[in-house]
Amino acid sequence: MTTIPRSRIKSVFPLKKLFFACIFLLAVCGLFAENANSVRYVFNDGWFWAVDYEGERVYKPLDTTSLKKMESFLEDGTGFVWLKYEFEVPKTLNGRNLSIFIGNISVAAEFYLNGSLISTAGHLPPHEFFAGPSAFACNFPPFMLNTQGSNTLLIKLFVDGTGGLKNIPYLGTYNDVQAQLERVTFFSKMLNLMIAATEIIMALFYFLVFVRNTKDKEYLMWALTVFGTVCYLVPYFIDSNLLLWNSMSYLTFQKFFSSIAAFVTGFFATSFMIYFLKDKFPGNILAVRVTLLVVPVVITVFIPTNVVFVRFLPILFLFLAAQIGFAVFSIIRSFLHGKTKEVLILVSGFSPVLLGLIIDFVFQVLLENVSMPLFTVFGWELVVIFFMVILTYRFSNYRKTAEFLNAKLEWEVGERIKELKETNEKLQLEQDESKREMDLAVHVQRSFYPQVVSALNGWDMAVHFRPFAGVSGDLYDFYITGKELEGLSLFDVSGHGIAAGLITMLSKNIIFRVFNDNRKEALPAVMEKLNKNIIKAKGSIENYLVGLILRTNSDGSLELVNAGGPPPLLHSCRTDTVSPVLTDKKQFGMVGVADLPVSFQNVPFSMAGGDTVIFFTDGLTEATNPAGEEFGMERLSESLRNKDRKTADQKLAGILKDLATFIGSEPLRDDITLIVLRKQTDSDIEELEAYGELEELEEVSEIDELFDDADSLGLEMIR
């Protein structure tokens, strides 16, 4: 009887998936970035505080940094503190629907505007309960706000061991406050809720795996660890208005979810690590570990007040540190006994949560930035995912081994046929996975590119970005400081597909860093530094870049350096002429090719009000119609000169419409990126001020109609 060889086990967690997952998370975070153009009146300096007692309250000045820890102002650490802030509505907010953003509250509060109650957060004594992880805002009728004089915001804050405002309040428009409310609540609550829901499913999965194979206790320990984690996360996603907590005091809630859940989770996590390493301890060590669990739990149960709980919790966590010490000892002993692979897997798996602890210590403790999300929670979710893969792999491997050893020769023949079928199915799955990864790459790449505002610092801008093969080889970026446009870049990477797309994401960060770090350097020198950095970063990859960098100067002039890209076209409003922006000096070379001589030249030029300059990649001018004719520079210039198109959006939509009409049914064969940069005139600004939002909406409506025309011809635009 022939010996049946073992099959080689392929990885179930390719590095490519991890790469795209990390980029996707960064892109999601970018979606929640605050709008720099929002008009806000931030309540910074000018706070006052007073304790709550019978008689007139005496308010004292309060530093803004103390808003987060108001418990230090009460002798016994519990009670009410009144916070007062007087303000006048700025002219920029007059006549608009306003709200006050408060943010996260600890523990509970009532909010008064000019003496009237406008909102509450949490529950005040005698049935006090914390406000929860959601952010809060105060919405009120317009008549309650004095737009011509002083207004007073009073906050009756209940403090119990801890208490304060985690964010600095501000007065803003209703839409801006609601958007900020959603951003803060997403990170402080919704993200934790999604993580907890995922972990409940994972805990059930691990438990079912243990039921199938009760010899491997690490599955049970990890299921209990994950479930304990969910309990510990409850304060980070449960709101105080749920009926479930009406019969539970705030102190009991804190004891169970913020203390006992942590000790139980630490106990099972330590047990998991010991079982994972196949390490063994004598019975008396288990008794010590159980004692380290029971003692802090019992102490927690008998703590009389929340103030005592807050003060004792760091001391009680020393028991948790001692518990984890047994896991560290087991790791060291296993490493010395030659279990290097298992130790490396375990340490690698827990590294995200260790990194999260360090980051949280820096932000939450050292910098006292309690408004930041808890990175330990995110790190722990990565740990859960990591060990889900590892434990699933182990279980699958054990099962296959058992089936393999019990197989007979007749089964082997059938197994070989089955393997062929599985191989075919796997190939199909890999093809499907490749398509999904391509779709993800497209989404991630587009998330990396800026969404251009219509007007900025006297500039009217619009951009169109259309990949040829899902992932584009074009890259562009705008360099903006506050409301000042410092410059832009546009490059075209050789090749198409994921390879070119990865080079764009690699190069985009390098270009951004080099441009911002060398703002006082001559622009040709900046391009040379950029060339060297990209050559070094991409190594032996053969792709190269052609394109340009534009920089705006404080005197209103512009300058650019072009490294092999199509020359921009400048339309003069005064002479109604279109001319390429070129230099008569000798220049040559491209970006990203090692040992290739280059000579980059500076091209200074100026623009008057109403002038327009367009930047584009060669996919635009080289697009062909069914007869094989190219769209070309001449047609592009004529389209740019069209006098009916005033704004940047209209010019962009018009060029794309002319392009779509020209190519007809002929498909595009290259990436296309088009940037329209128009210098605003004084009349543009006066018109915006005169007609206001209604006129702006009408203009946008007209532009959208042009966009719809271009889209109907197969063109996709990003504005």
pLDDT in tens, 649-707: 999 999 999 999 999 989 988 899 999 999 998 777 666 554 444 344 344 344 344 43
Is the bond into 107 cis (omega within 30 degrees of 0)?
A: yes
Place of tokens 């009926």: 243
Place of tokens 């650490």: 77
Q: Which fold has domain 40-181?
A: Jelly Rolls (2.60.120)
CA 81 to chain CA mean position, Å = 36
Distance CA 533, CA 519 (A): 16
Q: How are beta strands 672-679 and 459-466 bridged, if at all?
A: antiparallel
CA angle 512, 517, 523 (to 5 degrees): 80
Lowest-confidence range among 66-70, 220-224, 395-399? 395-399
- Give burial (CB, 10 Å; 0-12/13-18/19+) of 331: buried
Q: How confident is the model at residue 242 (pLDDT cuts 50, 70, 90)?
A: low
Q: Look at residue 441 in the predicted model and tell me its pLDDT.
A: 64
Identify each DSSP E strand in 343-483 by its residue range. 455-456, 459-466, 474-481
The residue ranking higher by pLDDT, 496 or 460, is 460
State yes or no: pLDDT of 713 exceeds 50: no
SS3 (DSSP) at 271: helix
Name residues whose C-beta falls within 8 Å of residue 470's C-beta, 6 or more positions apart in sequence.
438, 439, 441, 442, 497
Paired with 572 in beta bridges are: 577
Distance CA 299, CA 62 (A): 36
Lowest-confidence range among 10-19, 70-79, 81-90, 585-594? 10-19
State yes or no: pLDDT of 298 exceeds 80: yes
Q: Which CATH class name applies to 451-712? A: alpha beta
Evaluate whether 448 touches 507 at the Cβ level (below 8 Å).
Answer: no
Domain boundaries, the chain: 40-181, 451-712
Q: How confident is the model at residue 541 (pLDDT cuts 50, 70, 90)?
A: confident
Write the pLDDT tens digit of every residue in 34-81.
555 578 999 998 999 999 766 678 899 999 888 988 888 888 889 999
- Residue 200: both structure tokens together: 């409940």
Name the residue among 320, 189, 204, 340 with its Cα closest to residue 267: 320
Q: How confident is the model at residue 420 (pLDDT cuts 50, 70, 90)?
A: confident
State yes or no: pLDDT of 371 exceeds 90: no
Q: How confident is the model at residue 4 (pLDDT cuts 50, 70, 90)?
A: very low
Place of tokens 């931030």: 42
The predicted model gives 100-115 an average pLDDT of 92
- Note the pTM of the prediction, 2 decimals: 0.50
Distance CA 541, CA 593 (A): 9
Is the bond into 126 cis (omega within 30 degrees of 0)?
A: yes
State yes or no: pLDDT of 600 exceeds 90: yes
Q: Look at residue 222 in the predicted model and tell me its pLDDT.
A: 87
Evaluate whether 273 touches 391 at the Cβ level (below 8 Å).
Answer: no
As a whole number of Å, the CA-based R_g of the chain is 32
State yes or no: pLDDT of 464 exceeds 70: yes
Work out the widest C-alpha separation in the chain, in whole angstroms: 98
Name residues whose C-beta falls within 8 Å of residue 530's C-beta, 6 or more positions apart in sequence.
510, 511, 514, 515, 549, 591
Are the folds of 40-181 and 451-712 the same?
A: no
272, HSE (Cβ side, Cα atoms, 13 Å):
27
556: left (phi over 0), alpha (psi -120 to 50) or beta: left
* Percent of the chain residues topping a pLDDT of 90: 36
The residue ranking higher by pLDDT, 234 or 33, is 234
What average pLDDT is seen over the chain? Answer: 82
Evaluate whether 611 touches 575 at the Cβ level (below 8 Å).
Answer: no
The residue ranking higher by pLDDT, 523 or 25, is 523
Q: How confident is the model at residue 3 (pLDDT cuts 50, 70, 90)?
A: very low
The predicted model gives 109-128 an average pLDDT of 91
Helix axes 409-448, 497-517, angle to 10 degrees: 40
Write the pLDDT tens digit of every residue in 611-635.
999 999 999 999 999 999 999 999 9
Q: Look at residue 369 in the predicted model and tell me its pLDDT.
A: 65
Q: Look at residue 37 in the predicted model and tell me its pLDDT.
A: 59
* DSSP annotation of 13: S
